Amino acid sequence: MDKQIKVKNIPSEVKVHKPASQQYDRFNPRNRIYVRAVTGLHQMLRQRLGFIAMLSFMLLPWLNFNEQQAILFDIFNQQFTIFGLTLWPQDLTILAWLFIIGAFALFLVTTFYGRVWCGYMCPQTVWTFIFIWFEERIEGSANQRKKLDQRKMDFDKFWRKSLKHTSWVLFSLFTSLTFAGYFTPIRDLMVDFFTFEASAYAVGSVLFFTFCTYGNAGWMREIMCLHMCPYSRFQSAMFDKDTFTVAYDAARGENRGPRGRKQDPKALGLGDCIDCSLCVQVCPTGIDIRNGLQYECINCGACIDACDGVMEKMKYDKGLISYTTERNLESAKKTHVLRPKLIGYSVVLLVMCGILAADIMTRMPMDLDIIRDRNQLFRINNEGLVENTYTLKVLNKSQQVQRYQISVEGLDQFEVLGKTEFDVNSGESYSVPLSIVVDPYDLKRPVTEFNFVLQPVTDPSTQLAQPSNFFKGR
């Protein structure tokens, strides 16, 4: 038989405050949150999504495509390679569109389902939970970790703390090496780093990102979300009454208070919330979701799983804390899923994806830059013909060696002096000095416009024409 508990009927508008010594000031960065482990649907989903994100991050630099590293952002050589697509400074519009599309996709998801990106896929969240996993395996549960920190230093505490921080540092180092592998060939980096042959720049970068990962995921954690993340500050601009967020149903839960499993809460004047505070203990940012929507909430759903577990044990309906909307909580009306803001974000996102696709499809796998001889616009050679000198810079944007051919359109009775057919290696630029000679009697104007045409020998249908001028003089 359950123990009878006498509970006063506390009005919903009256708040019960804990003693100052038991309160947690989440705005004080020196206070530490001991996140309690919880299981449930949302945590299983978060763990699997985090595993996929982590696995993708770790494996992508090791993939090869066309005998080259599939993803490599080579800043020194100013070329970004993404599965056979090489982007140069001239192609920065494609990168810009990618970033803009990513931002609008985040806006769309936030408008529909709140800060789920922060709770499920944000690197800060993923790495923080990985570091907490190390803590749980080495130091124990949340209560055990708290007692361990309060205990004076002894051998047991020393080896546990040493092992924990060593695992954090090693994982941070592995993370940093992987991250650096996106910007320099990862296979060479791994060999050079551990054989002490890496450059000072590479070693400095790896150590810097190791320190940042160790500090952010090991020590700062929720401080990043509470005080440093800009997204948490402007996310409310995308929220409306139909945005799904993690919320507590106060109408059902209040008045809150403890009771036995077989006691009737209505007879005691209580709601379904038993005031166990598990929703606070499992929250990675240390907030109480029962206080309403707060910018610190990252929508990870940990409090939902904790509360559903309690409701199941109490034989109450689940969903006291759930993903719901403000409109649903206030008036129990049906949420408006299709609404102007959501449709607007979707339309803009589709348009930008279309522009990006068109930009990639119309992108030329080569580039041609024409540089004139600025010291002498033209000269008259020994035969009395007009000669203009040019330097053509040909950039091969493809992943294979290409043989190119240069031709001229727009001039009559001309002669080209110089190499008009040549090979260019993948990702390299090749300079071609050329001179064009024309009989002055065939030139009707002092300045004649014409085009240099660049085309691969193996694919004459692909052509790139660049305009230039031929000077006759007076």
Query: Distance (Å, rounded) from C-alpha 212 to C-alpha 183?
Result: 17
What integer pLDDT is reported at residue 284 of this predicted model?
Answer: 93
Residues 125-129, mean pLDDT to the nearest whole number: 94
The overall pTM is greater than 0.85: no
Give tens-digit pLDDT for 339-388: 888 999 999 999 999 999 998 888 888 889 999 877 788 888 888 899 99
Asked if residue 264 has pLDDT above 50, the reply is yes
Length of the chain: 474
**DSSP count for the chain of H helices, then E strands:** 15, 16
Q: Which secondary structure element, helix H or strand E, spans residue 160, and what is its range?
A: helix 155-180
Instruction: Write the DSSP symbol of residue 450.
Output: E
Provide the mean pLDDT of the chain: 88
Name every residue whose Cβ is closer than 8 Å to that of residue 54 and which is 6 or more positions away in sequence.
126, 130
pLDDT at 25 over 60: no
CA atoms of 52 and 57, how far apart (whole Å)? 8
CB atoms within 10 A of CB 454: 22
Instruction: Supply the pLDDT for residue 334.
Output: 81
- Mean pLDDT throughout 11-25? 41
The SS3 of residue 390 is strand
Strand segments, DSSP code E, in 304-385 are 321-324, 366-372, 379-380
Residues 279-337 have pLDDT tens digits of 999 999 999 999 988 888 999 999 999 999 999 999 999 999 999 998 888 876 788 88
297 Cβ neighbours under 8 A, 6+ residues apart: 115, 245, 246, 285, 287, 289
Specify the higher pLDDT residue, 170 or 400: 170
In the chain, the percentage of residues whose pLDDT exceeds 70 is 93
Query: For 159-199, how does the pLDDT look when each residue is reduced to its tens digit (9 = 90+)?
Result: 999 999 999 999 999 999 999 999 999 999 999 999 999 99
How much is the average pLDDT of 29-55? 89
Q: Quick one: average pLDDT of 117-127?
A: 92
pLDDT band, residue 45 (cuts 50/70/90): very high
Give the mean pLDDT of 45-49: 94
- Percent helix, strand, coil in the chain, to 5, is 45, 20, 40
153, pLDDT greater than 80: yes
What's the pLDDT at 403?
A: 94
* pLDDT value at 456 more than 90: yes
